[in-house]
Amino acid sequence: MFDTAEAYNAGRPEIALGQAARADGRPVLLASKFAPFPYRVSTAQFASALDKTLERLGRDCLGLYYLHFPYSVRGVGTWMTAMAGAVKAGKIRAVGISNCTGAQMRKAAGVLARYGVPLAASQVHHSLLHRKPETDGVLEACRRMDVALVAYRPLGGGAISAGSLAGPGRSALAGTLAEVAATRNATAAQVALAWLLKRDDHVIAIPGATRPEHVRENAGALLLELSEEELAAIDRVSAPAPAR
Ligand SMILES: NC(=O)c1ccc[n+]([C@@H]2O[C@H](COP(=O)([O-])OP(=O)(O)OC[C@H]3O[C@@H](n4cnc5c(N)ncnc54)[C@H](OP(=O)(O)O)[C@@H]3O)[C@@H](O)[C@H]2O)c1
């Protein structure tokens, strides 16, 4: 699964991803996002944005299409109705939302359900440095509704893998990650990703990487099964944020 968005770099990553997927030829799931900018108020604008994304990707159908964020003059429900229409039209296969709360997930799923479309994914910031989804109801909603929690920025934007975490309490985390990594002949990035995947079966991490060696290294996290003791040691130095 490759994740992109129309809002990233004026759509250029969509063009690059489409070209790369065609050149490689292997089946891939491409995910992109609709940005409900303030000037976007109608389902016709939604349809036009999706068509442009498909054009840039060079595809007739997109594997997964997200509402990028909920901040919009139109509610989440309006955009979910448009999403359901796009599923029925065969332009997208699955629907997701991003940067949304548990309540917004329930609202989205309720509107989609009217059209017989499930909510497939909820993409939120989730990492050892940002554990909010574990306490704000998003992970819980994913479990209850059987929705994938797609964890973005899972390496803290690169801070975790750099091994030199700055900030209060972070040196303990860096030390523990390095320790676990050393005993497992792994890297801190792999341990951080393996920790994330162990949160719940619903969690899928989407690490960003521009270097092929980073992609290979991160894929290696799938083979790293952390023990309960290792998970507990990491948890001790990375407490989740208290519920609000
Ligand atoms: N929905 C949203 O609002 C939202 C917001 C932010 C991000 N996202 C999505 O989430 C994806 C990932 O987030 P992100 O890129 O912001 O943060 P990230 O995945 O936490 O970190 C990416 C950074 O980590 C480095 N890195 C990756 N693997 C590494 C490794 N094994 N060792 C050392 N460094 C490593 C990368 O370096 P190199 O580039 O040198 O490989 C890059 O600088 C994005 O690509 C985007 O698709 C979504």
Ligand 1: which residue has its CA nearest to atom 25?
158
In the sheet that 64-67 helps form, which strands lie side by side, from edge to edge? 2-3, 30-34, 64-67, 95-98, 119-125, 148-152, 203-205
Q: Which of 123, 214, 217, 218 to mutate to test the pocket of ligand 1 (most atoms within 8 A of CB)?
A: 214
Q: pLDDT value at position 137?
A: 97
Question: Which is the closest atom of ligand 1 to the Cα of 123?
Answer: 1
Q: pLDDT value at position 174?
A: 92
| Residue-by-residue pLDDT tens, the chain, 244 positions | 999 999 999 999 999 999 999 999 999 999 999 999 999 999 999 999 999 999 999 999 999 999 999 999 999 999 999 999 999 999 999 999 999 999 999 999 999 999 999 999 999 999 999 999 999 999 999 999 999 999 999 999 999 886 667 776 688 999 999 999 999 999 999 999 999 999 999 999 999 999 999 999 999 999 999 999 999 999 999 976 555 5
Contact 192, 128 (CB under 8 A): yes
Q: pLDDT value at position 44?
A: 97
CA distance linking residue 129 with residue 240, whole number of Å:
9
Sign of the four-CA dihedral 92, 94, 96, 102: positive
Give residue ranges with CB within 6 A of ligand 1.
Answer: 3, 98-99, 123, 152-158, 161, 189, 206-211, 214, 217-218
